[in-house]
Structure 1
Amino acid sequence: METVLMHFAEDIRFTDDEFVRFCQDNPSLRFERRKNGDIILMSLTGGETGNRNIELGADFVIWNRQSKWGYFFDSSTAFRLPDTSVIGAVA
């Protein structure tokens, strides 16, 4: 998977609301935001990888339904970390 790093000067970095809007305005793209404000543009997976990922995900869900250890999330789930990073963002 290829990624592109976009660096912004400190005075023009996205606020939380601006980053959400940016993601919503570009629904066909995948973004993450690092704690320093850099935006990472990530490419989509191909068919073979997508198939392998869904098979693996299904195995984990089946296992977790029996073991009840916690929760699983798909790759489009965004997580806001304490350092202000937003990882796995897709609007």
Structure 2
Amino acid sequence: MMLQSPLILQIPPSMQMTDEQLFDFCQVNSHLRIEKDRFGHLSIMSAIDDKIVNLNGSIFEQLRVWSQQHNVGVIFDVNTRFKLSTGANRLPYAAWMKLERWNTLSSAQKEWFIPTCPDFVVEIRFLNHNLQLIQEKMTEYMQEAEIKLGWLIDLQHRQVYIYYPDKLEECLDNPDTVSADPVLAGFILNTSSIWSLS
């Protein structure tokens, strides 16, 4: 069952998890999507079902094809965790990071919570999910020094919100395609195929 909003668990300061404990907690509950906000609250989100897999797969596959052609960065799927400068722990549906930034990370950092924000993130609003909560998450991303571009794909209204740091968001109504220029030069997402899956 898809939750309309994440289940928010407020953790008392005396019971805050270390990164190691949070990692273990997420591992034993791998059937759920668990994020931590900058206040230490845990968001328990819907499990990954077939619909999420298909939608995310369409976005990720298009990004993967572009990435292989250009070979200037690394792509990440819905299972990759990023630790932001605020301490928040996020799981974007898709992300991309410049290769030179990725290469500065140690092997251990690459296999655990990636201790930085990606250059590009994609979040998805599924039907009946709380739009404001996801918009707040996008605003959080845009406050990170490393971020260059973010997309919020709203399946309910067939809209795509475009986010850049220090700029007002832009909203596209029912676009057939969305361009990531100039951050991901030449990457154009075919959104019409995504609407057909929603």
| TM-score, length of structure 1 as denominator length | 0.81
Question: Which one has a larger percent strand, Structure 1 or Structure 2?
Answer: 2
Q: How does 1:4-43 map to 2 (within 5 A)?
A: 4-43=7-46
Query: Which of 70, 75, 88 does residue 73 from structure 2 map onto?
Result: 70
How much does 1:45 deviate? 4.3
Amino acid at match of 2:41: D
Structure having the higher Rg: 2
Any unmatched runs of 5+ in structure 2? 93-198
Q: For 1:33-54, what per-residue CA distance to the aligned partner results, in whole angstroms no more than 9, with x for missing partners? A: 1121100111024433421221
CA distance in 2, matches of 1:51, 1:27: 19
Alignment pair present for 1:81 and 2:77:
no
- Specify which structure has the bigger relative contact order, considering alpha-carbon pairs within 8 angstroms and separated by 6 or more residues: 1
- Say if 2:32 and 2:45, in contact at 8 Å, map to a contact too: yes
Higher helix fraction (1 or 2): 1
**Cα RMSD between the aligned structures?**
1.9
Unpaired segments ≥5 residues, structure 1? none
Question: What displacement does 1:56 show?
Answer: 2.0
Name the % identity: 26
Q: How many residue pairs are counted as aligned between the two chains?
A: 89
Partner amino acid, structure 1, of 2:32:
L
Runs of 4+ aligned residues of structure 1 deviating over 6 Å after TM superposition are: none
- Do the aligned partners of 2:7 and 2:44 also contact (CA within 8 Å) in 1? yes
